[in-house]
Amino acid sequence: NHAFIGLRLGIAINTQAYHSQDETRYVIDEKWDNGFLSIAGTFNYQWEKRYLTRKIALRPYLGFGLGPTLLANSVEVFEVGVGSPEDTFEIPVKYEISFMLRAGLVFRHLHAGIEYNLIPKSHITLGNSDIGDVKNSFLGLFIGFKILN
């Protein structure tokens, strides 16, 4: 009665942080202009005890989730001293499996809370050279709703 299985569809913007291994040789363009799309199966445990008043029932819950995440589809990189910034390499970034921990409050069908999404780092490579890393994990606030009982 207190455990719920669900599906979370998530969209986030500007969640990835790029780190260049050699900033004197390579420049990663659009360092903060990215995002992701994810679908995660979730499991939440909701406490029965009501908080606030009898008319306003806020119930706390804890949960976790697991699922695939589609990261930004490419990263633009250009080599310093070779051509111009318009001569960029399009380096693809792939799907990753993400794990999420979440906590929040439920008010009727509305859910709100905080979640930490643990997504493995992506490595940016050009040929055999490791150019940099993409840090994908993030802490976020969310708001959602329950569709079916």
In the chain the first and final C-alpha atoms are separated, in Å, by 12
For the segment 31-56, what is each residue's pLDDT rounded down to a tens digit? 556 678 889 999 999 987 777 777 77
Task: Name the one residue in this structure whose structure tokens are 């921990």.
Answer: 101
Identify the sign of the CA torsion 76, 77, 80, 82. Answer: negative
Helix (H) / strand (E) element for 60: namely: strand 57-71
Query: What pLDDT is stored for residue 57 in this prediction?
Result: 80
Per the model's pLDDT, the better-predicted residue between 67 and 92 turns out to be 67
For the segment 110-131, what is each residue's pLDDT rounded down to a tens digit? 989 999 999 888 777 777 778 7
The type of residue at 129 is: S
pLDDT of residue 15 exceeding 70 = no
